[in-house]
Each structure stands twice: as structure tokens, then as C-alpha cells.
Amino acid sequence: MGVGYPDENFLGWPWTEVNNKMYDFVPAISTTTLEQVGTNGISRSGANGNNLNFAPRAGFAYRVTNKTVFHTGYGLYYSAPNVTNSSGLSNNVPALDYWVFNNAGTYGATTNGAAFNYASNGYAHTLVTSINALPANLPVYSQDPNAKTPYSEQWHASIEQQIPYSTVFTVAYVGTRGLHLDALRDINAGSPGTTNVTANRPYPFFAQINELETRQISNYDALQVTAERRAHGLGFLASYTYSHSLDEGTGSPGSILNPYNIRADYGNSDLNIPNRFVASATYLLPFKVSGKLNNLVQGWQLNTILNYFDGLPFSVSAASGVGDGLTPRAQLLPGNGNGSLPSGQRTHAQWFNTAAFANPTPGTWGNSGRNSLEGPGTKTVDFSFFKNTPLTESKVLQVRAEFFNLFNTPQFNNPGATAGTSSIGIISGAGSEPTFQRIERQVQLAAKINF
């Protein structure tokens, strides 16, 4: 049994800029200017300190029999927001100014009647040098002064049992809850209704105001079953996970669709995969002969990896945004469940019930759930064989052939999911070549010397 209670503040988070070159939007002081941190009662980071982050941890293990062990544990773990989030205030003018240069062929005189503005001609607008002389309609960042340090509570309980054939079988429950997770919320979006959110702004002098807040939550629960063996030249590890991951925004910072109702985004995580089975095996062939032929016969190794898991979730979005880069989800029509189709009715031409979704009334947010649908799953078998040949006492030549997605099973991507468009429900792509994931069959030959 073990107990711990560290105190964490992540190297002084919230971080500061050495010369206080960060500027915050503080409506209690002014709604038409920005305020430099470290002045007017604003902390140097824009947020109050979090120096008492109590993080208790406890673990317990008990040997029930000579072949049975019970484990359980709990821990609270802090994780400071992404560094770029805290430096968002340093992206505000006058610490950082910006301008845009467009391609002449697309936006030049032939298209919009205005000549292209080359960088050599100078800035597109007058450089901002003072927070008291800001141009109107600037997008800015702000910091919630009461932001907390994000943290997660994690717990587990497991039974580990040794079974015949040198195999260990484990059943575990794993849970995680995230609290005070960071997100950027547009606090200057106009009130929802029938107009674009750029109208009726609470602070009309500015455009979009993205405020770093720590109000989002997440939950994860999983049943995990594993079997492992390493003996007599044969090793394997097989694991099955049945899980559910929920949150309001998977990234850091999390994204918020409706700034006035962040709980409306609570749904399946972007990474939610309910069923996942992964198995790997390695077998060292027991062949051996005497004489010079032994270098050819001995040292062969076979390997395989199987991946079978559900598809990634996705949402159906509206065809038009509501301003400030916000695109609402589609309207789910009554009597259609969540809009999915039975597995036997899904095709590449219609993966889900496209008739169940429509564009919402302009200016509204739609009622369909976030990540309520599931895309195609993944089924791959990788295989390889190695040949290890001793060169000297300390050097071994390894020649290998590796086959990724051995049976060339198509790994289809999620379908089009924009209401009212011709591509809705249609799967038009497969795999991800840039990330070398879910690819078509590929063969790789390699050789290396281990020493």
C-alpha cells in the first residue's frame, strides 16, 4: 500500500511575460481598450495564482492466493493549460500586430477592383502602438482571472490471475474524470436569436473576444480485459477494452460551439471508441541443425499484430455558420432517433439517415448531439518475419520483411456530414497516408546490425 500527497503548481502557472508585454480585456475597467498586465490591479499573468493544488494519491495491492492479486488505486493529477493558451494575451496589440497580404491572382484588381498590396508597400493598416488608440473591430484574447489549474481524478481496480500455459489474465475497471479543463470561449458573440452573432455584441467596439476559461469537464469509464504470455519462445498480448469517453471539447484548448451554452457540447469525445481489440504475438521458431547450415536454419522469428476497433464519432453540421467562425450543428428531425442506420443498411453511398437532418433556422444552433454518430471501424492485420544471423559474438545481422495491412482491407474514413449538401452521408475517402494510419497494404524490407 502506498499514499502520497504532493503539492503542485506547474512551475508557477499561470505563467508571466518577463517584461509584462501582455494585454488583457477587462470589461470592469474599460470596454474600448486593453489593459497591460501588472497594472490597475491585474496580475502579471491575467489570472490569480493556484499555489495550493493538493494532489493525493493512494494505491493498494493484496495477494489473495499464490496466483491471484488484487490491485486498486486513486490519484488526483494536475495538468497546466497549453502554454500557447496562457501566451494568448501576448498575441494582443500592441505586443503583437498583424496584417494580411492576399494573392494577386485571386484578390487583385481583376477580381475585386483593388490592386494587390505587396509587403514592400508597407502595412495594411496603421501599426498600433498604444492601448488607448485601438482601431475598432479588433479580435482579441482575454483571460478569466479566476481560471483554475485543470486536473483529473483517476482510479482503477483489477484482478490479476495466473492461468495455465504461463499466461496471466487480468480484468480491470478504469475511470477518469477531468475538471476545470481549459477552453477558449467567444465572450463577444451576440445573443442567440435569428441574426448573425456579429450583431448585438455585448462589447461592440471589438470583434471576437476569445477568453481562456477552465470550465469544461470530461469522463471516461472502461472495462479492460488482457491476457499475456511469455514463455518457450512464444509471447502474446491480447487486450479488449469496452469504454465510453465523454467531454465538452477534446482538444487543449477545447472548442465551444455555443458560447452561451457550453454544456450543449457534452457528448462523445472525439476519441471515443467503445470497442477495441488489439492482439500481438511473437514466435521464435525452434529450428536448429548442426553444422554450417545452422546459420541459415536458426534465428527465424514470426510476428503479428491485429487491430479491430469501432469507428471514430462525428457530428452533422449546418451548411452555414453564424459568424465568428462558429458553425452550428444540424437540426435533428423528430422520430429518427440519433440519425444512425442499422449496421446492415449502411453503405458507402449512405452511411447514416441523411433525411433525419436539416439546416437549422438561421441564427440558431441546431439540436443534434455532438459526436452522436459513428464512422467505419478499423480492421487490420500486420505481419512480419525476422532473420537474425550472428556475425561475431557481439554483432547480429537482422533482416526483416514487414507487411502492414496484410490482407489489404479498406479502411474507410468518416462520411460527409454537412446538412443539405450533395456529399452528406457519402464516404469518399480511405486511410490516412500522412500519419501512416489505416493505410492500404504496404510492404517494407529492412536490414540492420545490432551490436
Are 256 and 135 contained in the same domain? yes
- Chunked mean pLDDT (size 10), the chain, 451 residues: 56 76 92 93 85 88 96 92 66 73 50 59 68 85 90 97 94 97 91 76 93 93 96 93 95 84 94 96 90 84 96 94 88 95 95 96 89 94 94 91 94 94 94 73 93 88
Q: In this structure, are 248 and 355 located in the same domain? A: no
The upper half-sphere exposure of residue 43, i.e. CA atoms within 13 Å in the direction of its Cβ, equals: 17
**How many domains would you assign to the chain?**
2
| 140 within a domain of the structure (yes/no) | yes
Q: Which of 238, 272, 306 is the last residue of a domain?
A: 272
pLDDT at 435: 62
The answer on 395 and 306 residing in a single domain is yes
Domain assignment of residue 143, given as a range:
1-94+129-272
Q: Is residue 400 part of a domain?
A: yes
Q: Looking at the structure, do residues 222 and 359 belong to the same domain, yes or no?
A: no
The domain boundary residue, chosen from 222, 237, 272? 272
Report which of 72, 57, 22, 70 is spatially closest to residue 43, judged by C-alpha positions: 22
User: Does 104 map to a domain?
Assistant: no
Residue 180 lies in a domain: yes
Look over the chain and give the mean of its residue pLDDT values, rounded to a whole number.
87
Residues 382 and 434 occupy one common structural domain: yes
Examine residue 285 and state whether it is found in any structural domain, yes or no. Answer: no
Q: Are residues 169 and 257 in the same domain?
A: yes
| Domain identity same for 90 and 199 | yes
Q: Is residue 310 located within the same domain as residue 167?
A: no
Task: Report the 10 Å Cβ neighbour count for 307.
Answer: 18
Same domain assignment for residues 264 and 325:
no
Alpha helices, DSSP H, located in 276-421 = 294-297
pLDDT at 375: 95
CA dihedral 418, 424, 425, 431 (to 10 degrees): -80
Output the pLDDT for position 122: 63
**In the prediction, which pLDDT does 94 show?**
83
Classify residue 87: in a domain, yes or no: yes
C-alpha cell at 114: 483593388
Residues 298, 267: one domain?
no
Q: Among residues 272, 307, 327, which one ends one of the domains?
A: 272
| CA 393 – CA 228 distance, rounded (Å) | 32
Q: Are residues 195 and 314 in the same domain?
A: no
Paired strand residues for 221: 175, 244
Of 73, 62, 50, nearest to 176 (Cα)? 73
Is 120 inside any structural domain? Answer: no
Whether 149 and 253 map to the same domain: the answer is yes
Residue 177 lies in a domain: yes
